[in-house]
């Protein structure tokens, strides 16, 4: 008797197909989140510590929430270690300014809901879309010809 149950197929495929946002840890609060929710702080090859909103700069990076509390905690805690820049505390005031500047600018390519103060009602928008194709004067001509 062979007790070989057909269990071998379980592993393998399935997980590979779902594309997930890379997860990063906030050095401030330690929460793990999608890369886009966090702001990258980078130590460039030249040794400059600055914010990297694009996330594409060269250098050693660490991630922090776009949040002052997280930033403060990061600065007084793990940030410099994460950047392997323990001796670079002198750069922190500059970094703080850069961080404030980033906070002041809206995150790139993120649909912001409350940003549009346009009071245009829905039916007007709909009419505008179909507008150019039908002109009332033409319709009149047509109906006049029928009689
Ligand atoms: Zn955080």
Ligand 1 mean position, distance from CA 124 (Å)? 43
3-state secondary structure of 22: coil
Q: What does the buried/exposed string (b/e) look like for 16-26 if buried means 16 or more CB atoms within 10 Å of the residue's CB?
A: eeeeeeeebbb
Task: Please check whether residue 66 is in contact with residue 74, taking contact to mean a CB–CB distance below 8 angstroms.
Answer: no
Supply the DSSP string of 74-121, one letter for each residue.
HHTTTHHHHTT-TT-GGGHHHHHHHHHHHHHSPPTT---GGG------
Q: How far, in Å, is the centroid of ligand 1 from the Cα of 12? A: 34
Q: Rounded to the nearest whole angstrom, what is the distance from the C-alpha of residue 65 to the centroid of ligand 1?
A: 4
Give which of 76, 73, 79, 71 is closest to 97, Cα–Cα: 71
Q: Looking at the domain assignment, is residue 1 inside a domain?
A: no
Domain range enclosing 31: 23-104
Domain assignment present for 145: no
Q: Residue 92 sits in a domain of what CATH number? A: 3.30.1230.10
Note whether residue 16 is domain-resident.
no
Output the CA 28–ligand 1 centroid distance in Å: 5
Residue 137: inside a domain: no
User: pLDDT, tens digit, for every residue of 84-136?
Assistant: 999 999 999 999 999 999 999 876 565 555 666 667 667 766 666 555 555 55
How much is the pTM?
0.60
pLDDT of residue 11: 47
- Check residue 111 and give its pLDDT: 56
| Tens-place pLDDT, residues 50-98 | 999 999 999 999 999 999 999 999 999 999 999 999 999 999 999 999 9
Asked, for residue 31, whether it belongs to a domain, the answer is: yes
How far is Cα of residue 88 from the mean position of the Cα atoms in its chain?
Answer: 28
The answer to whether residue 138 is domain-embedded is no
What's the number of domains the chain is made of? 1
Cβ 99 vs Cβ 51: under 8 Å: yes
């Amino acid at each position: 008797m062979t007790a070989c149950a057909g269990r071998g197929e379980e592993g393998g495929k399935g997980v590979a197909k779902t594309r997930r946002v890379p997860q990063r840890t906030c050095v401030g609060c330690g929460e793990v989140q999608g890369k886009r929710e966090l702001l990258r702080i980078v130590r460039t090859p030249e040794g400059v510590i600055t914010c990297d909103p694009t996330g594409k700069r060269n250098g050693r990076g660490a991630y922090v929430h776009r949040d002052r509390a997280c930033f403060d905690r990061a600065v007084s805690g793990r940030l410099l270690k994460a950047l392997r820049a323990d001796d670079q505390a002198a750069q922190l005031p500059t970094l703080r300014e850069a961080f404030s500047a980033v906070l002041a600018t809206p995150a790139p390519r993120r649909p912001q809901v409350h940003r549009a103060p346009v009071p245009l009602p829905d039916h007007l928008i709909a009419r505008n879309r179909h507008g150019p194709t039908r002109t009332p004067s033409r319709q009149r001509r047509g109906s006049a010809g029928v009689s």
